[in-house]
Amino acid sequence: MDIENAKPEAEIEEREESEGKRKWIALASILGLTIIIAGVLDLSVKGIPLGFTLPIINEPATIATIIYHASVLGAGLYIGYIGIRELVVERRFSVEFLMAVAGLGALYLDFLFEAATVLFLYSLAEYFEGYIEDRARKTVEKLSGFMPDKARAMIGGAEKNVDIKEIQTGTIILVKPGERIPLDGTVIEGFSHVDQALVTGESLPLLRKMGDTVYAGTLSTNGVIKIVVTKQADETLVSRIVKLVVESRKRKASVEKLVDKFAKVYVPIVITLAVFTAVALPALVGGTFQMWLYRSLILLVVSCPSAFIVSVPATIFTAITVAARRGVIIKGGIYVEKLAKVKTVIFDKTGTLTYGRPALKDILCGPGFDEAEILAYAAGLEQDSRHPLAQAVLNAAKARQIKSLVPTEVTEKPGKGISGTIGGHRVQITGRDSLKSKTGADIQLPPISSGLECVVLVNDRFAALLRFHDEPRYESSSFIRHLQPFHQAKEVVLLSGDRLAEVEHLAKSVGIEQIHAGKTPEEKLKLVQEVTGKERTLFVGDGINDAPAMLAATASVALGGQNSDVVAEAADAVVLDSSLRRVDELIHIARRTRAIALQSAVGGMVLSAVGMGLAAFGFLPALAGAVSQEVIDLAAVLNALRITLPQADMSDF
């Protein structure tokens, strides 16, 4: 599939939701201005009397009254239309229906301020819900930024820039150092270390030579290579990732919203009670129809579920603010609740539990050499090298305060290593395979282990073997080991596209028993779907190749979202500073938020139910009913603010 045309259906849906979002913010703005302007006029100049009586409602005309009636009627009728449409088409009472009846009912009872406030809060909540969905839909659009638009095609022996959509399989393309590979293919000439972390999750750049497969979107770091194209633009690995992202997002967007589940039960009950109060109670208890109609409208005002609709978003938005202050961005309320209930945690390896960069871990010296001497030689030789492992050598020398020696006659060939003269000694850094082909005989070396390695020769003698590993985060082990006792995690899984030896090495060092290595994005997605089908999952990752798996998990967190806009958009939450401690804080915030939101919602509903009973039998006057509903709402919001109370440390590892 073409990246730029990946989701025509999603684009139509996006336009519709964008239009709906604009309508909700327009309604909220109008109602908000109404509350401010009309409220100030009522308090300061008695609404500015106009000297005549309004028809139909038979009340003295004031500018404030006209503003209230125009705004509330317009908003109430629009929201009511949505509710009636759902009633006719989907045959169910919705929150929109109840909110419209409650707002218009409050207007009928002359509670103008309360009517405008109820509809304002609801419109604002709907806008924020649409905003969150709109942000999530921009995931695929970000992918195009990582893909070259043109490729250097070799046509008739000459180099020509061609649009990647026009290139067919079998075409030979040229890629220079520092350029991203435009299409999937096979190397037919040259060598280069290719950084595949963006696509496959490989922690270290890999040497790609003749016969090796390379992927679109990966970065050629230090060599010129010619590639024969094997996949067209709409068939590349990145294009398949796009398709997976679109499909996964669609599945997640189809999850039924919590408010609608609540409305299916609550709204029909409230409407039935209101109708029963107005129609049946006059005959059963006595009294005029007008009196019981008046009480039924009070019941609707009191029963308005704003304690639920307002307190839950207020609690969640407050939690999102608290998290943001700690460097964690949460995409929306639904993800807060999901984060609070996860039981299985799935980790990517590269850049998540590791720093995503090689570190020199072992120096195995040959007879007559010591580590300091070897490191001085290696750092001197590597100080101007562009090899991905050169910086790891220099960092190790710096950490041990070893000064680099000055080399002369330095030569470096891709795939062959680097050599030079230092202090009259011929020093060479190369690999096992290159060493064997150069000498024509086996040199006794330490056994092959996990990670990457380099061989150091001094005057053609074996001097040392340097071993490198993707460096684990300093907090990975303690974080992993605390998940079960402190967060009741049932399973902890390590899922990576990296090689088995590397994954096993990391898993052993941080304390993870269940591992899956060498997985493609499609395989990651399938595995996460299987695990999520059995238990609520949290996926923690950092790369584009993690995006489909993130969207398949119950909840997902991206580390260091500034490094990849795509993964930041795919994830439900983003930790900006790539800290696992922040992930722990996020879980604590989510669980505390859910507890407080439930307190506010359930408490508000119980108090509203009591008010409904009092209103139905006339024990609650209209003014007292409206005031009591506002008090319930205020109490719910104040309870939400408990999240902002300072806590010394929200992490427990």
Catalytic residues: 348
Burial 495-521 (b: 16+ CB within 10 A, else e): bbbbbeebbebbbeebbbeebbbebbb
Token pair listed for 123: 């419109």
DSSP codes joined into one string, 101-148? HHHHHHHHTT-HHHHHHHHHHHHHHHHHHHHHHHHHTTHHHHHGGGS-
CA atoms within 13 A on the CB side of 498: 33
Q: Is the dihedral of CA 176, 177, 181, 186 positive or negative?
A: positive
- 136 vs 250: CA distance, rounded Å: 11
- 426 vs 472: CA distance, rounded Å: 34
**Sequence-separated (6 or more) residues with CB below 8 Å from residue 518:** 496, 497, 498, 499, 500, 503
Contact present, 53 and 225 (Cβ < 8 Å):
no
Radius of gyration of the chain (CA): 33
Among 355, 426, 366, 352, smallest CA distance to 395 is for: 355
| 304 φ/ψ angles, rounded to the nearest 5 degrees | -50, 125
Contact present, 21 and 130 (Cβ < 8 Å):
yes
CA atoms within 13 A on the CB side of 41: 19
DSSP state of 540: E
Query: For 174-234, what is the HEC assignment?
Result: EECCCCECCCCEEEEEECEEEECCCCCCCCCCEEECCCCEECCCCEECCCCEEEEECCCHH
**Sequence-separated (6 or more) residues with CB below 8 Å from residue 180:** 146, 147, 148, 216, 217, 218, 219, 220
**C-alpha pair distances (Å), 418 with each of 172, 307, 362, 412, 461:** 30, 70, 20, 4, 15
Contact present, 59 and 110 (Cβ < 8 Å):
yes
Contact present, 301 and 626 (Cβ < 8 Å):
yes
DSSP codes joined into one string, 333-396? HHHHHHHHT--EEEE-STTTTEEEEEEEEEEEEPTT--HHHHHHHHHHHHTT---TTHHHHHHH
Token pair listed for 302: 């009191």
- 608 vs 98: CA distance, rounded Å: 14
Contact present, 422 and 381 (Cβ < 8 Å):
yes
Among 294, 268, 266, smallest CA distance to 281 is for: 294
CA atoms within 13 A on the CB side of 38: 25
Side chain identity at residue 367, one-letter code: P
